[in-house]
Amino acid sequence: MEPALSDARHWRHAPRWEGALAMLAVGVVYALMPDTIRLGPRWLMVSLIVLFLIPLNWARYIGNFRLTRMFAFALMALVTVAIIASAVLLVVRLPSGKTTPTHLLRDGALIWGANILVFALWYWELDGGGPHRRHMRRYESTDFLFPQLTMTDGTEQRWSPAFLDYLFLSFNTSAAFSPTDVLILSRPAKVLMMVQSLISIVVVAVLVSRAINTLGS
């Protein structure tokens, strides 16, 4: 019989500190972006992340699984919209020619890095019902099929993905525009993959376009 998802004693054993650190890192990276591609003042995103993390961890402490995921998804959606807006602004200001290659490379790298972190969080929170459900019972492939789960030596019975596995998946998606060794099973996961790849393609296309223009001038 599956333990109750609202059992606070079990919930506190589900590690979430990696996700919190990753989200704070996204806020720091976003704060480093210039005003021309950033929404709001530098302190705004970090402040919003902290404001969301407080009730999120309170819900986690009292064992309210659904409320915790609601706060997590709302925060990730907010940050994702901000990153998409920054990618659009990067494209919009390219024709002006006012951006130096160095600044453009920096801006593209910041968006690309934030993109990796936030989508690693999406995958970590989505897969198998989230970190709590994966911790409470044996991990089952519902959204992603990792290669460890295809082994037949008993490893598949004991293995469960950690945050680093989702970070690696997100990095590959941004770098190769594909998940490489992981199979995508669910439709929500496929949509997230397409959005992440699109953001990365836009950033890379802007950088390549600027490089070509610089060589031709």
pTM score: 0.87
Q: Which of 2-16, 22-36, 90-104 has the highest mean pLDDT?
A: 22-36
Output the pLDDT for position 7: 43
Compute the Cα dihedral for 130, 135, 140, 146 and give only its sign: positive
Residue linked to tokens 């490379």: 105
CB under 8 Å to 217, separation ≥6 — which residues?
none
d(CA 46, CA 32): 11
Nearest to 121 by CA among 177, 174, 66, 79: 79
Look at the chain and count its residues: 217
The yes-or-no verdict on residue 26 having pLDDT over 90 is: yes
Q: Where are the alpha helices (DSSP H) in the chain?
A: 8-11, 17-32, 42-62, 65-92, 101-126, 131-136, 155-158, 163-176, 187-216
Residue range 130-162, pLDDT digits in tens? 888 877 777 777 899 888 887 776 666 677 888
More confident residue, 185 or 149: 185
Q: Where are the domains of the chain?
A: 8-216
